Chain A
Amino acid sequence: MSLESILIINRSGGLIYNKSFNSNNDTASGIGSNELLILAGTLHSAFTLTNCILPDTLTDFSESYNEYVDESDIEMTNKQNNSDNTEIELPFEISKDVSNDNNNISNQKNLLAIKSKYYPPGVATPNVNINTTSEQNIKLQSIIKELTFKGSDLFTTGTNSTILNNSNRSRIVDYHQVSCIRQISTEHLNIYCHQSITGTKFISIFNKKNEYKMDIDRVTCFLMRIYSLYSDIILKNPFYSLDMPIRNNNKFDNKLERLVTLESFA
């Protein structure tokens, strides 16, 4: 599987950034900018719709925004009883006395929780042992050098095994709280999505040339790295206005290319 292109879609469904890799490939060159815009709009509406068709069992446990609860209602229920709406599952174990009902629900919650694993950058396949060379470290340093990120969280290499064993690092996104499309699989393509809380969607399109199937969590980590690049390089540029297309940002292009080569996707 290799990376075809990366799209960034803003909160209102407009395509603000697209970059295609493997430009000599037929599938990539066949897509014009108009089609990309349509694709972005379609994906955006698909995201919106999936939230509406979420099964009832899931909506009971997910704190998704689509069930509109007035702030006052929350306060009311909060006063009346410690209702399930206000219960937030924390990533670590807490000893708290809960009634039987609550206990049941929290059990079910645990069943439904989908959490994605953390993958360090530059790991080609999950089966291969993590051997981060100094070369990879240099590449990583070159990516995070000019960022405001210190990088010890999201951009950790696999050399430091203690970081991986750390409970905080093992899980990165808790999809228990999220309801959205994560992956679309077609005959020729695999599409992976990550949506940030502000509604910006990061979409990467992979072709299915090689038989090897990419782990979804790994791509999610990759997309989160793009998100951090975006929030750093694009949004902190004072001359960029929000929700507008990103044009001629060499810095972002370079960093993105480096990230892709580091992850050896392309």
Chain B
Amino acid sequence: MNSANSNTSIPSSSGIDSATNTAAIIQNDPDYSKVIFLKQLGEQVFQQNMKKINAEFLTITYGSLIKVLIEHYKEDVEKCNTKLKEMGRNIGSRLIDDFYAKVTTQIPRCSNLKDLGNTLSYVGFKLYLNCVPKVLFDENEKIIKLRFDNDINIFSKFVELPDEFKNKRLYYSNIISGVIEGALSGIALKSDVKYVSDTLLGDSTTEIQISNVKKIKDEVPMGQ
């Protein structure tokens, strides 16, 4: 509840005394009810439709994958980052169909960036990683930031990066940014997704930034 409150910045409420009327505004705010709906939807689909696997197994498999990649590219971290993103993009373009097949109840179409961020976080991340990153929305620069608190990113659960990779800035879970990019490209949205900070590298937060979201005009699927 608290996180939702901070996420929904209310556009037209500037003139109203916020201290007394907050509850009323929140109830009447369509953005807020949308967030609640998405939360419920994510929870429901996660419970009803998803088969679960062991998280530790996934974490360790991903870890060994990274290890092999680093060995393969002879510790060239730049190449590892791009390769991870490419792999993610392949996953994402397949996963988007799975997402829409599983969320059988019609999901409201995202009409603005805030919706997109909320849908990604409350439904997408909930379904596939069982974590809900905080959505930070920058209206002026049209940027969505997804912030992962503490240990909720299961990929980096047991990871402690050695100093050499810290200096070269290896984004350990860079595959996630690729998945987001690939999934959005599946529904004709072009975007730039990248890691801006990672707690594994000594930063204070883990944040993924989504920017430059554009509709691809020529190649529009006219489905639902």
What is A's interface to B at a CB cutoff of 8 Å?
11, 47-48, 51, 63-66, 68, 70-72, 74-75, 78-79, 82, 85-92, 94-97, 147-154, 168, 171-174, 177-180, 195-201, 224, 227-228, 230-232, 235-236, 242
Contacts and interface: CB of A to CB of B under 8 A. Distances in A.
Given A71-B213, A92-B37, A94-B30, A173 B224 contact: yes
B222 A179 contact: yes
A148 B100 contact: no
Contact of A63 (B34, B109, B187): B109
Given A172-B105, A236-B98, A90 B221 contact: no
B144 to A, nearest CB: 12
Interface stretch (B45-53, B68-76, B165-173): B45-53
A65 B112 contact: no
B139 A82 contact: no
B188 interface: yes
A-side interface mostly: loop
B94 interface: yes
B65 interface: no
Contact of B221 (A85, A97, A199): A199
A73 to B, nearest CB: 10
Interface residues of B, number: 47
Nearest to A69: B215
B192 to A, nearest CB: 13
Contacts of A64: 222
Contacts of B100: 196-198, 231
Contacts of A152: 48-49
A224 B102 CA distance: 10
B215 A196 contact: no
A163 B44 CA distance: 13
Contacts of B50: 148, 150
13 contacts: A66-B222, A70-B215, A72-B142, A79-B139, A90-B108, A91-B106, A96-B29, A97-B28, A149-B49, A154-B104, A196-B101, A198-B223, A228-B102
